[in-house]
Amino acid sequence: MIETLGVVGAGQMGCGIAQVAATAGFPVVLNDLSDEHLQAGLATIGGNLARAVQKGQLAEDQRRDALARIRTAVDYTGLGDCDLVIEAATENEPAKRKLFADLCSAIKPGALLASNTSSISITRLASVTDRPERFIGIHFMNPVPRMQLVELIRGIQTEADTFTAALAFIAALGKTATVSEDFPAFIVNRILLPMINEAVYTLHEGIGSVDAIDTAMRLGANHPMGPLQLADFIGLDTCLAVMQVLHEGLADSKYRPCPLLVKYVEAGWLGRKTQRGFYDYRGETPIPTR
């Protein structure tokens, strides 16, 4: 039974997972490399919860209790009493493999391990741990507090009890689970990221401007935001990483990352988190960069 949750990574996804779990009543240990990152993460969670109170989505005592359930740790030993530890670090396989290999010696033998990866093989990540049968993919959508869906991905060695426990955990968070086979990018990103990549090709080939492409898909396909706006929200480095996983994992040229996407990432224009991507966010109103 999952009672205490550990989250590795105090970025946007990790903080979202910690916030949702704490609001649902779970004690949470949030881990990151430095206290500075952790304090910034707690500030983000505090701000999100305060806005939820202002909107009438949460009572003040629920906000206070949720924050009180989150404690921080700058090393893995702080995760020693967790029943489930979810990794929400950068979308980079070598980095994740090292993280999981290091994590195993710090957590209790019966603890479950999970990755929030949006594209990387769960079977490969599980293989570097001492408990592949207790390893599973739990992929939350971004932003975690608002998005209802969670993808569950079983590796080859994932046992039925691990899957059942993860399913119950997602239900306790008030989320809806969908189950994907362990293939590159799973379900959502297998469909979504090639669409975003094609939108970048449409821009790259001069078929439409940033504004024209996003307006076309918002009004022509009834999407809540355009694909280039969405790419900026996700992070262009993450979009590129997923496309590279698809291209390498499936060996199909249709998944080749658009050269313009590569160029933006090389420039450090990663979207909202760096204030520039397909839009420039440094002013009051986002301005298309092409």
Q: Are 196 and 225 in contact (CB under 8 A)?
A: no
Confidence of residue 90 (pLDDT cuts 50, 70, 90): confident
Q: Are 14 and 8 in contact (CB under 8 A)?
A: yes
Residue 91 has pLDDT above 90, yes or no: no
Determine the Cα–Cα distance for residues 163 and 22; give it in Å rounded to an integer: 21
pTM assigned to the model? 0.90
Q: Which residues pair with 28 in a beta bridge?
A: 5, 70
- Concerning whether 189 is annotated as a catalytic residue, the answer is yes
Q: Which residues pair with 279 in a beta bridge?
A: 288
- Concerning whether 197 is annotated as a catalytic residue, the answer is no
- Concerning whether 31 is annotated as a catalytic residue, the answer is no
The CA-atom distances, in angstroms, between 167 and each of 73, 136, 162, 196 are 26, 11, 9, 30
| Percent over 70 (pLDDT), the chain | 100
pLDDT digits (tens, 9 = 90+) for 209-236: 999 999 999 999 999 999 999 999 999 9
Determine the Cα–Cα distance for residues 83 and 116; give it in Å rounded to an integer: 16
- E strand spans, 88-195: 112-115, 135-140, 149-154, 176-180
Which among 48, 119, 121, 139 is annotated as catalytic? Answer: 139
> What's the CATH fold of domain 5-180?
Rossmann fold (3.40.50)
Please give the average per-residue pLDDT across 13-25, as a whole number: 97
| Closest C-alpha to 245, from 203, 198, 182 | 182
Which pLDDT value is given to residue 184? Answer: 93
Which among 48, 87, 151, 197 is annotated as catalytic? Answer: 151
Residue 166 has pLDDT above 90, yes or no: yes
Which pLDDT value is given to residue 55? Answer: 94
Please give the average per-residue pLDDT across 73-81, as a whole number: 95
Which among 118, 121, 180, 197 is annotated as catalytic? Answer: 118
Which among 31, 48, 121, 189 is annotated as catalytic? Answer: 189
SS3 of residue 139 by DSSP: strand
Following DSSP, what letter does each residue of 14-66 receive, concatenated?
HHHHHHHHHHTT--EEEE-S-HHHHHHHHHHHHHHHHHHHHTTSS-HHHHHHH
Which pLDDT value is given to residue 123? Answer: 97
- Concerning whether 151 is annotated as a catalytic residue, the answer is yes
Please give the average per-residue pLDDT across 272-283, as a whole number: 96
Residue 101 has pLDDT above 90, yes or no: yes
Please give the average per-residue pLDDT across 242-261, as a whole number: 96
Secondary structure of 210-223 in HEC code, one letter for each residue: HHHHHHHHHHHCCC
Domain boundaries, the chain: 5-180, 190-288
Confidence of residue 175 (pLDDT cuts 50, 70, 90): very high
pLDDT digits (tens, 9 = 90+) for 106-131: 999 999 999 999 989 999 999 999 99
- State the average pLDDT for the chain: 96
> What's the CATH fold of domain 190-288?
N-(1-d-carboxylethyl)-l-norvaline Dehydrogenase; domain 2 (1.10.1040)
Residue 1 has pLDDT above 90, yes or no: no
Which pLDDT value is given to residue 233? Answer: 94
Q: How many residues does the chain have?
A: 290
Determine the Cα–Cα distance for residues 62 and 112; give it in Å rounded to an integer: 27
